[in-house]
Each structure stands twice: as C-alpha cells, then as structure tokens.
Structure 1
C-alpha cells in the first residue's frame, strides 16, 4: 500500500455562499437510538480470529454489572452486539471504604476484538495516533455519570481500572451508547435473497452504509470522518438502492460545488467541522467523479434545479482535465495531479486514468444534451479522440488486453476501467474479462474494497455474472467469515491480518467504499 500526503498551501478556494446555503438546507437531523450492551466478553488469543484475537462469552451477566467491582488492573469488556456509532455514557460508583484517591480509568473502544488487545504505545504508523479510540480519565469523586464528549465507532468497550486505592473498588452500571445516523435501518426496504451468504453480505453492506451516513456521507466514522468524493460516488449508488436518502447526496454535491479552487478544480475531500473547509488534496479521477455523482443523481431524481446549479462546475472539471490530453487523444498526467484508481502504487495507472476520463466524459455528454449545451460537439470530439487512442494504441491485439505505460504493463485496473467505460463492444468486453480472470486471478497486491467493487462491477457489465458473484463471495464473504459487523477500509484475502498502517488499532473496520455489494446485488442479480 502507498499514499502520499499532498500539501498545496498556495491554493486559493472560492466559497459560493449560495451553493453552500443549499448544502446547509439539506443537512439531515440525525436519528438517535439508545443501545445497551448485550453481554460481557473476554478477549482471547485465537489464530483463527482476525489479527489473532476473538471475543468469547464469560460467565458474567451484563445485567448484573454492579456485582463485579474492579480494583487496580481490573477490567470488563462490554459487547454491544453490533457495530455502533455514537456517544457513550456510564454510571460509576465506589464500594468499600471511603474514597481516599481518585479513580484512574482507561476506556478503549474497538470495532474488532484485536483492537482491545493491541498496545497503543507500540503503534508507530504513518497516520496520527490521535485516531486511537481510548481515553484516560481521572475521577476525583464518585458516584458520577460519565458522558464522553467524543463520538466513537465501535462494538466493544473495555473498562480498565488503572488504579483506585487498596481501600475501595469501582462499580459500573447503566452503560449505553446513543447511536446516531442520518437514517434508520427500517428506512431501507427488506430484501430477501435465496443465497444465505449473499444475504449476509447484503445486510452487512446496508449496515456499513447506515453507519457512514452522518451529516455527510463520511468515509469512515472511526477515521477520517470526512467527505471524500471517491467514497461519495459509491455511497450514493448504494444509497439509491437502499435508503434512497436523496437530500444527503444533494447536500454533498453542493458542498463540493460550493468550494472549488479559483481555477475551478474540485478537491478530493472536504472537512465539515468546525467550519466548512476544502482539503488541499487533488486527485484527477476524484475531480472527474463530481461529474459522475451529478449524472447519477440526475438519473435517479430528474432534479433539474440541482443540474442547473452544478452543471457549470461539472463542465469545468472536464475542461481542466481535457488540458491533460494530447492531440492524439492520450491522457498525459503529472505528479502534481495524480490519478488515484487504488491505494496501491504497485501498478501503472495511466490506462485506467484514460478509461476513467472516457467513463466520466460519456456521463458529462449526457448532461450536456439535457441542458442543450451547444459546446457538446467539442466534447463528443474529445471522446472520439480518446476512445480511438485507447482502441488503437492501448489495446494489444495479440494479447487481447489493454496495456499501460512505457513497459506495456498488463494489470487488472486497466481492463476493469476500460470495460466500465465500454470502450470495446460487448463481445470484446466479455472475451477480455475472461482472459483477465484466467491470467490475473486470484488478485494480489490490491487491498481495497474500492478497487474490488470496480472489478466485480466490470465482471457484471461484461456478462460474467458467475465470476462476479464468486469474487463478491471470496472477498466480502471472507470478511463475513472473519466476523465482520460492517465492511472494512482495507482487506487482502491472501493476508487477512494486513493493515496499511501496521496495526489494527488505527484501521477502519466500517468504511464507506466497502458498502457497495448492496448496490451490485440490487442492480445485477
């Protein structure tokens, strides 16, 4: 896995207050549910568990929590039964002699059991350790009702008494989380599938999406809690197939449209707290995906007012991107505006980038016709040039696969995105995907559900339904087998314990770009 932080502090952003006011008008009121833990568990080492740990029942009854006082180094682990996103509170008291010292308490919140076992002091990854979900608290007097101000993303909570005094012990009662989301589980229609494995995958996909739907479509409620445009595109598609909460999509479109650079470019993500702030990170394909999100929204809603507001911004993304296309129709990117495609930098991304531009350009032309843009001929000409270059130069007739870069590399992403862009006809796409499966499967080196989504969708688009379903089961189904309550930011089936940060304690186990099986199942099965 690889990632490069961008720092572009010389970039100046516009703030279109009219568009941002429309974003605020579509801000959802979060729905809240009070959830109590279902049991007390022990976290034990088990080679079969993700990262070597599982949660097992102990003989204690969570309904009798006050029967289990804890002194120095004592601990309890609460299991809330499913993944939760919200604010935690608990009542704490003392038993024994008078309280002659403060309570020193650590609370650790975990999406998977291995996070409880991980020692945060040993974490030395490239992401900030400030994301680790644990709190150290001194309480001078008891009893008290402790409400933590921070929002957490978790299933398990460890209550670790670091110290009291020899004279007294701590007792806990009434633990709960006020879970928050823009939607309720019951807002999505019930879907009954004949295949039990696909049913589990579908249900967990919906739960993943729900927990990422906050005041914006967050990429992950544990980390980074941001609106990323690549995640948004996939979340919006999954949302249309399930909750169909259109106002939240509209809000996110207006947020991106209201904060472009002075040359019109869309940032890769935006912060929404404490104030609206566009990030100084720019990705070529993410900027173009603004066009996709607008086109998908228009197809779903026929909301002409949003199209009229944002068409010019979508057009600007195409215009800026077109400056990177040479007269032969070849996309020529540079390091200043990289194409993302996937976290991994272990494969050449030039051909995938070309295909993504073709994919979004086709969607833009559809929008251009809707608004009667007379300049549409210019973009149809650009599309023809880029498509011709892809067919005549990037497609290897002998291998019947697309190549990428000076070394004419053959990789999964090139084939997948060329299929999604429908650069070849249906018969050629089917043959190409059959060759890809034969030559490049099983997939290695790719660890994101984001990229796996596109592989599965390309298989469906090429008529390879059996292979698409099998890959969905091999990838998301493997997460289910490993105990997933929600789907993860990163996962390698060939290396289940893999973390891009070197530790499960910082990884996100509820992540937006992993929620798409619900969409894929609804659309193709």
Structure 2
C-alpha cells in the first residue's frame, strides 16, 4: 500500500481569512431533482458482472410496491436506474393486526450490486466501517415518512425488515431520492461520437464528474467526500472540457491556498464541513499539483489577477520541492513526504517523482514569466539541472528507457518522463513503443489515476491508436462489468480488487476516473 495514515498533530497551519472568504464567495449552487425508483430487483449470479453479482427485475412493477407485505427477514431492493448522489425518503405503513411492537429495519445503499451481497459484520479492512452506507432504524408508530438526514451515493437501496411482530406486516410506498450536484447541465454541449464504445465511455465519465461536483470537487461522494489536490487537477481538466464551471475550480484553489502549513507545504486534501480545515496528510506531487491546477486554470480561463494572487503560495511550494534535489539535480525522496503515483507499492517511484517535478517546474516557469518574477532565472537553472540529470543519469540509451531505484525499469518512470517532455518527440515515441514492447501488459497498477497518465503519455507520444485501445480496454471493461460511474480502483487482472479488503467500502464513483471526457476531447476530437 503506497498510502498510509499520516498523523502530524504538531504541525501548525496558516489561515488566510481573506482567501477563505473568497473561497466561500465561489461556493456553487447545489442543484436538486426528484427521482423515483424505477424497478424492484433481486440479486442474481451473473459472471459477466462485477464479483459475479447482477440484478434481475422482479415480475411485479414498482407501481405494485405496496402489494408486498413484509414480515421478519423479508426485504426488497429498489433500483433507481442510474447512479445518483442525494438524500432518501420513503413512506412506511402497516397491515394486519394493531401495531404491538416497533418496526426495526435496515436500509442499505449501494453503487454496485456486489455491495448488497457483502455483509458489514464481515468487513475487517483498514478503513473505518463507519463509511458503510447502512442504517438500522426503530420506528414506534406507523404510518411514518422516513427521511434520512445523511447524503448517500447509490443506485440501489435494500430495505430489510429485521423484525415487526407476528401480528402485522410492513408496507413500503413512495421511495424517493432528491439528487444533489453542482454540475450545470445547461452549460453542456452535447457530444455525439461515431465510435459507440468511446461514446459510452464519455457518457459514464461525464456522469462520474457530475456526481463528484458538490460544493467542491469531491474525490468520491460515497467515501472521503473531501477535496484532494491530485483528484482536483484531473477533475478541473475534465471540467474545462465539459461543464466549464471555472468558479468551482477557483473555490478549490482558494481553499488550498488559504490553509498552507507553516513549513509552506500544501496539504494533500482539505475538509469543508463544518468549516474549512486542512488535513495533516502530505503527498509529494499532490502538493506540487497546486501549481499545475493554477497553470491549467489560467490556460483555460486567462486571469492574470488571480494568478498574481496565488503565485506567492505556488512559489513557496516550489521552493520547498527544490530543496529535495542536490546541486547536481538528483532527487532525494523523503519517506515522510511520499510520492504517490498509484496505490501500488510494488514499484520504485523515485524517477516518476523526479519527472513529475520537471513537469510542474515547466508550468511554474510559465507562471513566473507571466507575473514577471525577477527570480525566474533561478527556476530556469533548476529545470536545466533536473532535466540534465535525468538525461545523463536516469536514461539508458541502449534500452531507450528510464531507470529508477536499483536498476528497475517500470511504466510509471517512462510515462512521467514522457509527459514532462524531458526528451524530444522522436525519442518520446520510441520510449513509449519500448514501454509497450517491454513493460506491457500492465501489471501492479490498479487505479484509473495512473491509467489516465499512461493513456495521456501514449497520446503525447503520438501513439493514438494504442492510447484509444488502452482506454477502451480499461474504462470499457468497467462498463462491461456494470459501471454507471467509474471506480476508484480497478485491476483488469483482478476485477474484485479492493485496496480496503471489501467492495462494501470501495468507491464506485471516483473523481480521478472521470478523465476520458478530457482525453477524448483533447486528443481525439481536437486533433481531427
């Protein structure tokens, strides 16, 4: 596992109230719609679906829901037809003899059918079981309209009667969902692709992005429900290609800028409720990607005043980063400031981290030039040092690949060096061709986050055919397995893989997996 819980209680944070005030001024309207359950379904064995669990529509229509009289251990599964984020309510009544005991029920919310097949008491993973979307409720008097106060991320709702009494049964009526998203579909230009597989991938990616757009760009609406910088960078790029809601990006950047650590590092993530609060977790490139997100924002919506406002925070972060390199340009990793790259810890990440720094440093120099920073020459010199070290010490001219660690050649090193354009275009193409020949098929990588960068590196190396094929193979496979939105983690060789030990806490709608909408727009449509 590449990520572990960090506890830095002694670290103090700055709070720039002016920037945080501006973050609140950019807070979006949460749009709400009423949705009704479409079907009653049951779980079935289906080896074409994730974990071999699918659903089958019951003979009785949803309009006949009240015909079911539920007693102890009876249950029903409601299907809302697509993935949504929002609040749930349902009318409950009883038939039979007078109500001589309370109603005791369990409600279970699921993004995928396999979650309903997992029992919460069996979960023994390293994440808190409090993330499991499950409620146990006693109701003393019926009829009653149950309005749950929490927000859920789901398509399916299972209502199970734990107990009533032998004298009466439960009747369920009017299950209702009030959706929540800040995504404004009126801003969206319809997209019609000739390639139906790419069209489906685009549509599911768009839904993923929309359901993660709340009062910030959440990383996952089911679990975490917070703003992570690595996710934000990718969500912002996808957003510019679709909804183009720039104020939401500004809000997120203001939040990170307004709560830096006293050592000038930028937290990997922040909370916004009940009030803005930085987490005491730091990831090397996540901090750096504050600069990337600011650069990308200005590229999409040029705003010199905004860049000048946040540039000092970006500069301090870059200065922190460059202290981790020798005068020769060698990267000295810090275990307390880990390079993430991917969930997997099965490969060395030093060269990937080196390349990520070059990637961001180039963007920072563009910003420094824009604001006319008199120190620009310092960063240009640093870029030359880092780039020359990579070319002279990390690039194997015989293999035409970058090495990392103890003579290790991995995909992440090649991908990030290509994305950083350390070498010329012809060499980059050869690097990615060699990556395909020598390092494919992809192993030990289980996140759409890293797959995004692999696909983008293929596009950047002008290997469009290979990039599209990998996109279809990876994101397309999730759709084949039943995805309405794209997942936090997915390994095609281990389709049941969970970083946490159970599907019941997996996030099946996750921010960093939405990027096909950006890749399709930038590299496929705009290249024609």
Q: TM-score, normalised by structure 1?
A: 0.99
Report the counterpart of residue 109 of structure 1 in structure 2.
Answer: 109
- Alpha-carbon deviations, 1:87-117, whole Å to 9, x = none? 0000000111110000000000000001111
Q: Is the counterpart of residue 233 in structure 1 residue 233 in structure 2?
A: yes
Report the counterpart of residue 387 of structure 1 in structure 2.
Answer: 387
- Contact 1:201–1:517 (8 Å) recurs in 2: yes
Report the counterpart of residue 188 of structure 2 in structure 1.
Answer: 188
- Contact 1:219–1:511 (8 Å) recurs in 2: yes
Report the counterpart of residue 423 of structure 1 in structure 2.
Answer: 422
| Alpha-carbon offset, residue 157 of structure 1 | 0.2
- Contact 2:219–2:228 (8 Å) recurs in 1: yes
- Contact 1:108–1:134 (8 Å) recurs in 2: yes
Q: Distance in 1 between matches of 2:3 and 2:123?
A: 18
| Alpha-carbon offset, residue 500 of structure 1 | 1.1
Q: Which SS does the other structure have where 1:192 is aligned?
A: coil
Q: Distance in 1 between matches of 2:315 and 2:42?
A: 56
- Contact 2:37–2:176 (8 Å) recurs in 1: yes
Report the counterpart of residue 478 of structure 2 in structure 1.
Answer: 479
Q: Which SS does the other structure have where 2:505 is aligned?
A: coil
- Contact 1:489–1:509 (8 Å) recurs in 2: yes
Q: Is the counterpart of residue 12 in structure 1 residue 12 in structure 2?
A: yes
| Alpha-carbon offset, residue 230 of structure 1 | 0.2
Report the counterpart of residue 35 of structure 1 in structure 2.
Answer: 35
Q: Distance in 1 between matches of 2:98 and 2:347?
A: 65
- Contact 2:218–2:227 (8 Å) recurs in 1: yes
Q: Is the counterpart of residue 254 in structure 1 residue 254 in structure 2?
A: yes
- Contact 2:488–2:510 (8 Å) recurs in 1: yes
- Contact 1:51–1:504 (8 Å) recurs in 2: no
Report the counterpart of residue 284 of structure 1 in structure 2.
Answer: 284
1:118-267 equivalences in 2 (<5 Å): 118-267=118-267
Q: Which SS does the other structure have where 2:504 is aligned?
A: coil
- Alpha-carbon deviations, 1:244-278, whole Å to 9, x = none? 01000000000000000112110000011112110
Q: Distance in 2 between matches of 1:397 and 1:510?
A: 41
| Alpha-carbon offset, residue 186 of structure 1 | 4.2
1:314-463 equivalences in 2 (<5 Å): 314-405=314-405, 407-463=406-462
| Alpha-carbon offset, residue 305 of structure 1 | 2.2
Report the counterpart of residue 294 of structure 1 in structure 2.
Answer: 294
Report the counterpart of residue 491 of structure 2 in structure 1.
Answer: 492
| Alpha-carbon offset, residue 291 of structure 1 | 0.3
- Contact 1:77–1:156 (8 Å) recurs in 2: yes
- Contact 2:2–2:340 (8 Å) recurs in 1: no
Q: Which SS does the other structure have where 1:91 is aligned?
A: strand
| Alpha-carbon offset, residue 212 of structure 1 | 0.1
Q: Distance in 2 between matches of 1:263 and 1:136?
A: 45
Q: Distance in 1 between matches of 2:262 and 2:496?
A: 43
Q: Distance in 2 between matches of 1:49 and 1:104?
A: 32
Q: Distance in 2 between matches of 1:286 and 1:89?
A: 38
| Alpha-carbon offset, residue 333 of structure 1 | 1.3
Q: Which SS does the other structure have where 1:505 is aligned?
A: helix
- Alpha-carbon deviations, 1:162-219, whole Å to 9, x = none? 1111111100111111000001444321111110000000000000000000000000
Segments of structure 2 that go 5 or more residues without pairing to the other structure are none
| Alpha-carbon offset, residue 51 of structure 1 | 1.2
RMSD: 0.8
Q: Distance in 1 between matches of 2:500 and 2:375?
A: 46
Q: For structure 1, which segment, 468-477 or 297-306, has the greater mean C-alpha deviation from structure 2 after superposition? A: 297-306
| Alpha-carbon offset, residue 336 of structure 1 | 1.6
| Alpha-carbon offset, residue 42 of structure 1 | 0.3
- Contact 2:208–2:486 (8 Å) recurs in 1: yes
Q: Distance in 2 between matches of 1:138 and 1:2?
A: 41
| Alpha-carbon offset, residue 69 of structure 1 | 1.4
- Contact 2:2–2:342 (8 Å) recurs in 1: no
- Contact 2:49–2:480 (8 Å) recurs in 1: no
Q: Distance in 2 between matches of 1:50 and 1:186?
A: 33
Segments of structure 1 that go 5 or more residues without pairing to the other structure are none
| Alpha-carbon offset, residue 284 of structure 1 | 1.0
Q: Distance in 1 between matches of 2:35 and 2:522?
A: 33
| Alpha-carbon offset, residue 47 of structure 1 | 2.7
| Alpha-carbon offset, residue 338 of structure 1 | 1.2
- Contact 2:46–2:54 (8 Å) recurs in 1: yes
Q: For structure 1, which segment, 333-342 or 485-494, has the greater mean C-alpha deviation from structure 2 after superposition? A: 333-342
Q: Distance in 1 between matches of 2:488 and 2:16?
A: 32
Q: Distance in 2 between matches of 1:187 and 1:81?
A: 24
Q: Distance in 2 between matches of 1:380 and 1:2?
A: 32
Q: Distance in 1 between matches of 2:333 and 2:495?
A: 34
- Alpha-carbon deviations, 1:6-52, whole Å to 9, x = none? 11111100000000000000001100010111100001223332112
Q: Distance in 1 between matches of 2:306 and 2:65?
A: 53
| Alpha-carbon offset, residue 380 of structure 1 | 0.1
Q: Distance in 2 between matches of 1:188 and 1:51?
A: 34
| Alpha-carbon offset, residue 235 of structure 1 | 0.2
Q: Is the counterpart of residue 275 in structure 1 residue 275 in structure 2?
A: yes
Q: Which SS does the other structure have where 2:503 is aligned?
A: coil
Q: TM-score, normalised by structure 2?
A: 0.98
Q: For structure 1, which segment, 500-509 or 512-521, has the greater mean C-alpha deviation from structure 2 after superposition? A: 500-509
Q: Distance in 2 between matches of 1:347 and 1:67?
A: 57
